[in-house]
Amino acid sequence: MAEAVATEQKTTATVTVDGATVEVKKGEMLIEAISHLKHIPHYCYHPGLSIAGNCRMCLVTVEGIPKPAIACATEVKDGMICHTLDDKTAEARRIVLEFLLINHPLDCPVCDKSGECMLQDFSYEYGQDRSRFEEHKVTADNKVFSDHVIYDTNRCISCTRCVRFMEEIDGFGGLCMVQRGDHSKVDIFPGRPVDTLLSGNIVDICPVGALLSKDFLYQHRVWWLEKTDSVCPMCSKNCSIEIDTNLEGDVKRIRPRENERVNEWWMCDIGRYALTDLAENRLESPAGTEGAGKSMKDAIQLFASKAAEAKGKAKVAVSLFASNEEMFLAKKLADKLEAKIAVIEPAKSDAIKFRKFEISGDRAANRTGAALILGETASGVDDVETVIVLGTNPDGSAPEIAKSKAKLLVLTNKIADLAKKAVVALPAALFTEREGSYVNHDNHVQRFKRATFPKSGFGDLQIIAECLKAAGEARYADLSASGVFDLLAKEIPAFAGMSHRSLGKLGEKIRD
């Protein structure tokens, strides 16, 4: 016991912040060590990047240090006494803001960052309501950094977050600060745009509206956006994401959601802009030789009855982009129809490695979930009369099945050959329109919520449940994804004890 206390004394420090005494980790910077207690205003500090200490917004008063100290680069010491609410600190913050705003344009009414801008927030808290600056502001032209990113030079506060990201996380290193003093700005090397697959992250981490996403430019005021926690389905990493929709339910942007066990603060541009490709050429109403022209309700009934009639003569082909819940019901359907299950493989690709981030080479979102839920799978679909295709790859492909001579009942998101060839083809919901869960390549289970309703009015889970009902199993018909997950957790040991509620925002790892 005495030894344990001695070890603890070595690794922690006692710090007094605004009169409250706390134990913090030794060696940490003040801004991190007391973050659970106090939010220190900052611009250049980012927990995922190295410390630059250049914006001076995080100044606090530390007893024994004559001038205000920057909390992002002041290491905690045992017995340290600091003040974040005193007049000296407030005055230091006011002065820093006055400097930062000298050349800053009054763009808030047209700036995309407005509403989530750290300059707005801290000016409101610590700034002053008028400028004493009577000279002309220094101005410079905007610059296009890449197909996705625009740089508004006048709004930049030279915090270097974007430069450090490109150096430390991406490794591309193609951003740099040029010029001096109030002419400082970020720039790219001539003829070398930021054409890396992590480019969108610099827009997220820019604390002001200097880096702008072309996709979102002048699209929406952020305070009208509804935020939904979701998971990226574009590779087996399953980055945690946030989907922003407007009041009409249109998806306006997708951004990473902090999850240190999966993607930290980042995501790639494949996932960020996936919706543009997914929404193209989308199947929105029933198709196929017998399904075309039918209402969704009638087409689902036809699909379900044909699936039930194929008992003993069918295979069920499941997409590796299906959720755990969809896979669980697909397996139940296969059992009911005495059918084997085959999985639909996406095209092979290589991992894309950055300095501190990796896009998985396995583009299947839920291969781990499939292995746990579907059990043994069969290869090939040529030995049966009917193939029930529950979801395809995101591009609408299912190569093995497209070659098959069997009768096809297809649930797909794209108008492609498969949908045209099918007896009945039903529109599948996009990932933004579904709810459920995935297991990533690291056995991490995460839940995703529905950001907007399926365009066809029917979700994939509901369609599979209708097929089960037609096959004589009605118990899944009115269950939500969370209800199906509860049943799955009772049956499949890897998910034992989990529920949508227990998965929460960050998910849980499957126990060995």
- If the CB atoms of residues 72 and 463 are measured against ligand FES, the closer one turns out to be 72
CA dist 330 and 337 (Å) reads 10
Q: Determine the size of the site formed for ligand FES (CB under 6 A).
A: 12
Q: Read off the amino acid at residue 362.
A: D
Tokens (6 digits) for 98: 């006055």
Q: Considering only residues 160-179, where is the footprint of ligand SF4 by CB under 6 A?
A: 160-162
SS3 state of residue 148: coil
Is 156 a binding residue for ligand SF4 by CB under 6 A? The answer is yes
17, 30, 34, 42: residue in contact with ligand FES (rule CB under 6 A): 42
Q: Which residues pair with 25 in a beta bridge?
A: 12
Query: With CB cut-offs between 5 and 8 Å by kind, which of ligand SF4, ligand FES, none does residue 56 bind?
Result: ligand FES
Q: Considering only residues 48-67, where is the footprint of ligand FES by CB under 6 A?
A: 53-58
Query: With CB cut-offs between 5 and 8 Å by kind, which of ligand SF4, ligand FES, none does residue 55 bind?
Result: ligand FES
User: Which positions from 218 to 257 touch ligand SF4 by CB under 6 A, shown as an x/- string?
Assistant: --------------x-xx-xxx------------------
CB of 284 to ligand SF4, least distance (A): 25
CA dist 409 and 421 (Å) reads 9
- If the CB atoms of residues 161 and 315 are measured against ligand SF4, the closer one turns out to be 161
CA dist 39 and 32 (Å) reads 9
| DSSP conformation letters of 229-298 | EEE--SSTT--EEEEEE-TTS-EEEEEE--BTTTTBT---HHHHTHHHHHTTTB--S-BSTTTTT--HHH
Query: With CB cut-offs between 5 and 8 Å by kind, which of ligand SF4, ligand FES, none does residue 58 bind?
Result: ligand FES
- If the CB atoms of residues 97 and 489 are measured against ligand FES, the closer one turns out to be 97
Query: With CB cut-offs between 5 and 8 Å by kind, which of ligand FES, ligand SF4, none does residue 157 bind?
Result: ligand SF4
Taking CB under 6 A as the binding criterion, the range among 34-42, 268-276, 454-462, 499-507 that sits at the site for ligand SF4 is 268-276
Nearest to 27 by CA among 82, 66, 85, 76: 76
Is 159 a binding residue for ligand SF4 by CB under 6 A? The answer is yes
- If the CB atoms of residues 66 and 109 are measured against ligand FES, the closer one turns out to be 66
Give, for 367, the enclosing helix (H) or strand (E).
helix 367-373
CA dist 354 and 285 (Å) reads 41
Taking CB under 6 A as the binding criterion, the range among 202-210, 382-390, 409-417, 492-500 that sits at the site for ligand SF4 is 202-210
Q: Within 10 Å of residue 194's Cβ, how many Cβ atoms?
A: 23
CA dist 288 and 412 (Å) reads 11
CB of 146 to ligand SF4, least distance (A): 13
What are the CB-based long-range contacts (under 8 Å, 24+) for 347-354? 347/393, 347/397, 352/197, 352/268, 354/169, 354/170, 354/171, 354/172, 354/196, 354/197, 354/198
Q: Determine the size of the site formed for ligand SF4 (CB under 6 A).
A: 25
DSSP 168: I
Query: Please, what's the b/e burial string for 276-290 (b: 16 or more CB within 10 A of its CB; e: otherwise)?
Result: eebeeebbebbbbeb
Locate tokens 């591009």: which residue?
Answer: 395
| DSSP conformation letters of 58-77 | TEEEETT-SS-EETTS-B--
CB of 221 to ligand SF4, least distance (A): 20
CB of 433 to ligand FES, least distance (A): 40
Is 210 a binding residue for ligand SF4 by CB under 6 A? The answer is yes
Give, for 226, the enclosing helix (H) or strand (E).
strand 226-231
Tokens (6 digits) for 407: 């009768």
CB of 142 to ligand FES, least distance (A): 24
CB of 56 to ligand SF4, least distance (A): 14
Tokens (6 digits) for 342: 């085959």
Is 270 a binding residue for ligand SF4 by CB under 6 A? The answer is yes
Is 70 a binding residue for ligand FES by CB under 6 A? The answer is yes
**Residue numbers of the site for ligand FES (CB under 6 A)?**
42-45, 53-58, 70, 72
What residue ranges bind ligand SF4 (CB under 6 A)?
Answer: 156-162, 186, 206, 208, 210-211, 232, 234-235, 237-239, 263, 267-268, 270-271, 359-360
